Chain A
Amino acid sequence: MRPPVSLEQAMMFAGILFLVGLVGVITRRNTIFVLLSLEIMLNAAGLAFVLAAARFRSAEGQVMFLFVLAVAAAEVSLGLALVLWLYHHKRTVDIDRARDMRG
């Protein structure tokens, strides 16, 4: 089975998803939305790996996708634990309220 479109178009798709996630990370102030946008960016990076490897019919892309998946799972569990911590200590999920970085 050939890939349905060219590699350039597939990379453009992954790049657009990454850019949308990046805009979300920069513009949103709700910490949960920041974490969601980070998930979008990680997903786009994994997609780029798999779609590029599919062009060469290689299994390495899916191996890298698995690693990206594990990084995303670790990041989201720690990030959500930090969100709960922030909410219990400051009664807000606004990421600008967590600026002081003191224990």
Chain B
Amino acid sequence: MAFAFYLSAAIAIGATVMVVTSANAIHGLLYLVVSFLAAATVLLLFGAPFAAALEVIIYAGAIMVLFVFVVMILGVGSRERRARPPGRAWIGPAFLAAVLAAELAYVQATGRATVAPGQVGPAAVGASLMGPYLAGVELVSVLLLVALIGAFHLGFRLGERQTPGKKGGGA
């Protein structure tokens, strides 16, 4: 299974370098999704299926959707869309994701990533969370509440000031 780790790690590092060096925000987001998927594959290979599922659902799902919302609201990259022929940006990330899917299918077919004694499953993580780390869970809930109130505060004042400026803006 070492080659599977090397392949996933190479895809993750390459996609991350593409994120940092890309000029268009949407292209960077596509490569970052691929990077998170590769990291999830690495987690699966190391016997952490719960963390791999969280990586896909929260990082590649929720957080990336938030970024896409903001990029679309701000219209970053609309100039590039006009300048370049459309529909070429998805080929690189799609190819890397296909390589990852093939690797995952191979690992599953050889039976090495199924439930095994060395794996730490969701049940063990949940028991640890509700046992010795209960105070941490409460602190995380307070942190998320603070983030919610902060984002609401920033967005609330934004809505108040946006109305008079909207006539002349239009950008």
Chain A residues engaging chain B, CB cutoff 8 angstroms:
1-5, 9-10, 13, 16-17, 20-21, 23-24, 27-28, 30, 32-33, 35-37, 39-40, 43, 46-47, 50-51, 53-54, 57-63, 65-67, 69-78, 80-85, 87-89, 91, 93
Contacts and interface: CB of A to CB of B under 8 A. Distances in A.
A13 B12 contact: yes
B109 interface: no
Interface of B: 1-2, 4-6, 9, 12-13, 16-17, 19-20, 25, 28-29, 32, 35-36, 39, 42-43, 45-48, 50-51, 54-55, 58-59, 62-63, 66-67, 69-71, 73-74, 76, 112-113, 116-120, 124-125, 127-129, 133, 136, 140, 143-144, 146-148, 150-151, 154-155, 157-158, 161-162, 165, 171
B71 A4 contact: no
Dominant SS among interface residues on chain B: helix
- Among all A-B residue pairs, the 5 with the closest Cβ atoms: A74-B147, A24-B20, A4-B1, A1-B116, A81-B154
B28 A36 contact: yes
Nearest to B21: A24
Given A4-B4, A78-B147, A20 B17 contact: yes
Contact of B150 (A13, A60, A78): A78
Contact of A81 (B19, B74, B151): B151
6 contacts: A13-B9, A47-B42, A63-B136, A66-B129, A80-B67, A87-B74
Contact of A13 (B42, B70, B71): B42
Given A36-B29, A77-B66, 9 more contacts: A1-B118, A30-B25, A32-B74, A46-B51, A51-B46, A62-B125, A65-B51, A74-B147, A83-B74
